[in-house]
Amino acid sequence: MPRTALLVSAAVVAALLSPTASQAADDPAPVPLDRFEGEVPFASQPAEGIFTWGGDSDDPPGLELTARPDAPDGDKVLAGTYDISGYGGYTHDFAANQPGHDWSAHRGIRFWWDGRDNGRKIAFEIKDGGANGEASELWTTSFTDDFTGWKQIEIPFTDFAYRTDYQPVGGIDHVLGLTSMWGYAVTLPVGVKGQFAMDDVELYGKADQSLRASVTTDAAVHPVKQGATAAVKVTLATTGSAPIDEPVTVAYETGGGTAEAGRDYVPVSGTLTFPAGTASGTTRTVEVRTLRDKAAEPAETIPLKLTVTGAKPPAETPQVVVDAHGLPYLDPKLPVKKRVADLLSRMSLQEKAGQMTQAERGAVGEGGDVATYALGSLLSGGGSTPTPNTPAAWAKMIDGFQLRAQATRFQIPLIYGVDAVHGHNNLVGATIMPHNIGIGATRDPGLAERAGAVTASEVRATGVPWDFAPCLCVSRDERWGRSYESFGEDPALVKSMETVIQGLQGAANGKDLKRNDKVLATAKHFVGDGGTEYGSSTTGTYTIDQGVTKVTRQQLEAVHLAPYQTAVDRGVGTVMPSYSSLDILGDGQGPVKMHARADMINGVLKGRMGFGGFVISDWNAIDQLPGDYPAHVRTAVDAGVDMMMVPYGYKDFSATLVDEVEAGRVGEKRIDDAVSRILTQKFRLGLFEKPYADTGNARQIGSAAHRAVARRAAAESQVLLKNAGGVLPLKKSQKVYVAGSDADDIGNQSGGWTVTWQGSSGNIVPGTTILQGMRNAGGDVTWSKDASAPTGGYDVGVVVVGETPYAEGVGDVGNGHDLQLSAADKAAVDKVCAAMKCAVLIVSGRPQLIGDRLGGIDALVASWLPGTEGDGVADVLYGKRPFTGQLPVTWPKSEAQLPINVGDSAYDPQFPYGWGLTTLTKVPGGGAITLKALAVAAAVAERAGADEAGRALVTRARLIVQEKVGEGMTAAVAKPFADADHLSLTGRYGAAVLRLEDAYRAG
């Protein structure tokens, strides 16, 4: 067939498939953007060009300009292949050093797409305003590839929505102006291997006023006390901010809600007129007067229906809400228990199911579903943030969602939750603490509490009253990708660090939860998530996370359950079960998912331990339970899970739960128990009286005082493993050669769960890198990341190496990760340590295998993941503070030793649990004689309950042993040394020193 015939045929088919493709007689001529004949190169900013991108190295598609006889326009089309696991696509950006393009005269954008009929959605974005294509607002829509062959896809600009899940910079104006456009982007389908072709991207049609002018209201919900007058502001806006050419009218009328006209409010109707020439941003006001009566009532709604002519109407009908009044649950003077009972007695089954449902903020858009489904909770998953990612934007976003809850009958406020696991880590500019493994290394319960208090203050100041922290996992295998979320491998250490719960919540009785600097805490992940067996995970490519914990009943009680009793005693408000399965040897059940273990959640946690808070599921965790979806819901609820984190499946969950109760398969008594627990915490938090953000402490976010706490935590977390020749502390007079991948990378030193779920390398948050900290300390420092600069003439080298960020099972060893330093890091260590005395700092979430290089290293420091305050690391490097940290986990010689933990019968590590040299402290003399005296004194302190004195005596004994052992670590030394640290943490100070005597003799 001749090419011309093919084009005619394609055009006819396209016209049939897309009736909007015909061009009106008075439309301007189409404006081509891309004909793909080679006029636009493959390039990247700041040059104009087409470039690809993706979530990892395999995700960017392959692109080429391909000659096609059936090309809709010209000879060539843009063609490519893709196989995307995360995300991927391509972009055409206009040159950043040229003015943006003006698209405001056109109706929309269109292009030809070669359909594969795969049923997949393809996202299409345009880039508006800002400095350039990579610093602009993203506006998105999509089309479905449900056709075969060429089809012209037409997208009016009015179809584009502002992206709420991701913006490259944010904070421009949130208006699609169309006068400064920077190009477009295509996001290809995930999880399917495919090919695509595209041609002739162009602007089409004439922009008419009804498409570029819109009418909005100041809010979708306007709550008022009975008898008050609501003022609904109606605003005219235009793309490009140009005045309107033709009049716009807005007819308004009240009616149709649950409020009764004439009894609850005075009905109003009329018309607002915006004459031709009216400026964009002009506002008119409609007032609705409510009436007072003496009856106690739930909230009642008064929809204000708007009929717009000449402009796009609001996305939804605004509602005036007459606040609930006179009902007992609204009385803050009543005991919480009575308030809960009164409210519960009034609620429908659907409303109760809504309280048990938690959705992701990104799933509810502007929040209309909060009222529609009476949702009890929203969350921000890792990296789910407002744009811009500022404290004010967080508070505004959450207040907007809380406003939606005011449109429900009983105006039950939402409880909003985040994973603030080492500071308010989703917020750029927050104080980022060391991860828990570093806090465990400090052995400082008071510091753990202060770190929790800083976190709570910063989280609550953004409107968030609930933190999914702390993790009380007892990490038993460093191959686990969540190792750094654990305070350590010893339950006694984990229990000692649970002072963080008081930092977050305040008093154990919950009386402080209403304060604007406290949040509800979450003990997670119940129970045994740190004990999963390597190779037991069935989740994707994970190797250990979400796997099976095989333990005897005695091991379960002693290791994994022990920290939860402490948490309950400390008044923790919520508990989150683990994704993992528990296999209690000998009970005959085999491995059972924790979200299904009624014996553990109802029986042990709520029953034996007396936990009175509520249980929140992990992210979509019920989907991993056996059976169909109703079975998932039924099993988890009956097991004792009170609220389900069903981020994008909240509609299905609440509907299914109602069905299961109505069918008699889930008891109403169980539902009432769950909802009572949830409401109790909402009342304790003071949310019914103050649902909106109290931003009084926002100025403290990232403040010098808060960063000082994080700096001290970073300093105390540093564990000095080796210090031959007293290389550390450094002297300011020394010339120091600094190298290594993690010396000047704040993203690496902060780790996972920083701004995004997985975290990332690079300059992602404000703070101080370790290199900057050394310079701030006054050191004479030369920096060469890869150690390529000449190494002559230096007194000492500092090589900062380690891991790049990861989170959860993504970081499991065997899932693209190992415990080895990278080749570049090894090369840097080898070069620097061969040329001069050297100290090696390992920035990591778990021990790294360093034994093969240990002989060539003078000083070795486990820096863990210190967070944003590199000054704290420099404080101990330069002797402003002493090294005092101790290993919270055993440091293995090889991966073959794993799992290896304190208390093991065979125990021969590189460095034992509890090891940690010190500086600036004189080691007591006297050797064995002094140890005997210390043992007697420690036993006396133990009997007297003098914990502080007992711990100090054990520390003195530990220093004596470490000095004698030096680099001569053996199994005979390591086992009693580690045992001593465990004994000290359990208050058995006399026995601890006796074990240190054993280690001394073996050394």
Indicate which residues carry an active-site annotation.
618, 808
Residue linked to tokens 């891309």: 34
Instruction: Return the amino acid letter for 361.
Output: R
User: 229-238 and 283-289: which strand pairing?
Assistant: antiparallel
According to the 3-state scheme, what is the secondary structure of 889-905?
Answer: CCECCCHHHCCCCCCCC
**Spatial separation of the C-alpha atoms in residues 797 and 737, rounded to whole Å:** 5
Residue linked to tokens 């060429």: 150
**Spatial separation of the C-alpha atoms in residues 719 and 886, rounded to whole Å:** 5
Q: What phi and psi values does residue 242 have, to the nearest 5 degrees?
A: -80, 150
Beta carbons of 545 and 484 less than 8 angstroms apart: no
SS3 of residue 113 by DSSP: strand
Residues contacting 437, CB < 8 A, separation 6+: 475, 483, 484, 485, 486, 487, 488, 845, 846, 864, 865, 888, 889
SS3 of residue 618 by DSSP: coil
Cis peptide before 632 (omega within 30 of 0): no
Beta carbons of 709 and 489 less than 8 angstroms apart: no
**Spatial separation of the C-alpha atoms in residues 160 and 179, rounded to whole Å:** 15
Please spell the DSSP secondary structure of 280-340, one letter per residue: TT-EEEEEEEB---SS-B--EEEEEEEEEESSBPPSS--EEEEPPBS-GGG-TTS-HHHHH
Q: Please name which of 506, 491, 519 lies closest in space to residue 571, comparing C-alpha atoms.
A: 506
Q: What phi and psi values does residue 220 have, to the nearest 5 degrees?
A: -85, -20
Beta carbons of 28 and 206 less than 8 angstroms apart: yes
- Per the structure block, which two tokens stand in for 377? 């909770």
Residue linked to tokens 């990278």: 822
Residue linked to tokens 């304790």: 684
SS3 of residue 860 by DSSP: strand
Residues contacting 744, CB < 8 A, separation 6+: 769, 770, 771, 772, 783, 785
**Spatial separation of the C-alpha atoms in residues 915 and 959, rounded to whole Å:** 10
Residue linked to tokens 């943006």: 100
Instruction: Return the amino acid letter for 119.
Output: G
Q: What is the DSSP letter of 756?
A: B
Distances, alpha carbon 855 to alpha carbons 826, 891, 968, in Å? 14, 16, 12
Measured CA angle at 278 (ends 275, 284), to 5 deg: 80
Q: Please name which of 398, 412, 353 lies closest in space to residue 650, comparing C-alpha atoms.
A: 353
Q: Please name which of 129, 166, 130, 126 lies closest in space to residue 142, comparing C-alpha atoms.
A: 126
SS3 of residue 2 by DSSP: coil
Neighbour count for residue 383 (Cβ, 10 Å): 20
Residue linked to tokens 């390597």: 534
Q: What is the DSSP letter of 512?
A: T
Residue linked to tokens 């949830």: 678
- Per the structure block, which two tokens stand in for 680? 């109790």
* CA distance between the termini of the chain: 90
Beta carbons of 127 and 162 less than 8 angstroms apart: no
Please spell the DSSP secondary structure of 239-264, one letter per residue: GGGPPPSS-EEEEEEE-SSSSPBTTT
Q: Please name which of 377, 448, 386, 455 lies closest in space to residue 417, comparing C-alpha atoms.
A: 377
